[in-house]
Chain A
């Protein structure tokens, strides 16, 4: 798979997004990453492997401990994947559509 697919896969699971959220506060040890999640340690390891494959985390050995840190760079691919005008017009038209839906509801209520 290409890296964009790896990144999208990585952020498609709530546990992995929560891990990114934890690591955005700064690097952490494996057990600290695993601690808030009510799951087996090898399940956490699987999630970390997917994040690592996407390049979103890095492991670094510091003495006896392995520190896991977050790398935001690959997320830029996701941001650049949607053209700015695609986002702009989608936002505008969502609001426009919503306006008419609301007007229709109000008309019915009268």
Chain B
């Protein structure tokens, strides 16, 4: 076991080490904007189909509406989620998870760790599962879910998903009250020390302004509709006998992010919301069933 991490990045590296040792492939972030780590194709698509799959990765997540111009110590429009997906979920998955908390320096006999009912769902990708939010001394540090459905399809075998809110977890582990004060790298590093704020504060300011006021709503709407049209076209094309489901899913992700941007711009009326979410879900379902077809055929 590595020694207790001293910085945001070493916390990530510790988790990588830990899950790598369990047999996960350690992936890099998906290069399309997403609202949550779950949406990475390594989770949404790989959770489906009969093949085993164990992976861990960090995913930058964008929630345009959560931007606070860098002025709120707890809220960011761009933040990191650490994502683990284990399919089929091993019988000792809870113990593996608790082992990861221990690895990042939490003493499980001193802290109060609790599994509190929280049934996860994500209507835009037609996904739901049962599980818990995991509390450490009253703070939610992870989401733990046994996927039951994704893209409207049953997940079988069941995939277990862990999501760590990295900034929040790090703030707790390092006893920091403001996210921008987090040590990004080791405070004693020979080449110099940077905080989370040094790295991301300006990004939060500019992106917040863009999210709330910058983007042209008509352009966003046009792009959304373009993506919506592209998905079935992409699925209609095939290579070596397989429909282009992976590019098609990227289009779904883009549509989903464009929807979030429109939402942050206040361009979506309450009544329209459900219909937009339904449109994205339909696109996602098309991809999911095509993916499962290919997985089962292989």
Asked if A and B are interacting partners, one says no
Which chain B residues have a beta carbon within 8 Å of chain A's beta carbons? none
